Structure 1
Amino acid sequence: MLSQHATTASSTREEFKQTQVKCTCKKSQCLKLYCDCFTSGLVCGPECGCLGCCNTEANTDSLVQQARQMILQKNPQAFSSKVAQQQTHRSGCKCKRSGCQKKYCECYHLGVPCGHLCKCTLCQNGKPCLGADGEQKLVGSKRIKADIIFKVDDKAYPEQRPPSC
C-alpha cells in the first residue's frame, strides 16, 4: 500500500514537470509574482528561458525566502490560490479596454469567468450586466447594444453603445 502511494506521488510529480509552465523573466530575477515558477513555489529549471535568475536551488534558503517573506508581508494571500471553490476569482479583475480577453486579465488567464467582484468594463468574459430592458445579459455580445441618449449642450444624441455595468 505504501509503495503504491509512493509510485502515485512520483508519477504525479512527473506529470507536473511535463505540464510545468516555463518562465521567461527578463528583469525580475524570478523573485516577483510575475514569475510562474516563483509563484508556484518552484525553482527555475534548465527549461526556463529567464535571464539573471535568482530563483535557483542555491538561493532557496536566502534570496528566495527573503523575497517570499517581503511579498507575504504586503499580501498574506499572495501565494494562495486566486480561484475560489466556486470557480470565480477571489478579488476580481479591473480591465478597462481589453474586454477581459487578454492574458493580463487575471480571470481570463486563470480560465474563469468574470464575476461580481470584478470591476471590469465592457467585459467579454462572462460578466453579467443589466441591459436597457432590465434583463441580465452578457456585456460584449453583439445583440445587447441599446440606444442610449447622451446630452451635450442641451442637445440629445442617440448612440449605439453597450450598457455599462
Structure 2
Amino acid sequence: YCECFSNGVMCRNCDCSNCHNDAEHEAKRLQAIMSCLGRNPDAFRSKTTGGMKAGDKGCCCKRSGCLKNYCECYEANIMCTSSCKCLGCRNYEEASDVAPREKNADVGSKKGLARPACALRSPESVITAAVVEAVCGCLLARAEEAEGEARGGVQGELRVLEEFGHCLAQI
C-alpha cells in the first residue's frame, strides 16, 4: 500500500499505481487495515493527536536534514522536537532563514556526545499553533471528564493542572 494508506485515508488524486486503497476495493482495504492493526495497534494513530503525542519518540535522522519522507516527523507534518536525536536538523521554523544547525558538542561530556540540534531551538519553534490547539483540547477533555465525575471545584482544577503539567512535559 501507499503513503495515503499509512496515513489512514483513501487515495484521491495521488501518484499511486494499483494500490487498491480506494472505495472500489473497500473490502480488500479493510482486510489490510485489520491485518496492520493486528501487528501494530498504533499503526494508524496520528503522531500529533490522539494516542501518541508529538515528540514521544522523535526521529533519528543522520543525513537527510529531516526533510525527506523517511523522517517520521517530516512525514507526520510536524517540526522536530527536543526528543529527536537527529543530526543536521533543518525541520524547524527558522530553517528557511538559517543554514542547517549542526550538533554542538556537549561541554560536560567525556565522549563528546552531542545534544540534538532541536534542543537548541527557541520555544517559539516548538510551541506552534497546532501544539497549543492540541493542549487546549486535552485540557478541555480533562475538565469535562472531571465535571462528568462530579469533581468540581478544587478537585477539577487539580486534574486540569495535572494534565497541563503532563502536556508541558510532552512538549
Question: TM-score band (shorter)?
Answer: 0.3 to 0.5
Q: TM-score, normalised by structure 2?
A: 0.46
Q: Point out the structure with the larger helix share.
A: 2
Q: Point out the structure with the larger strand share.
A: 1
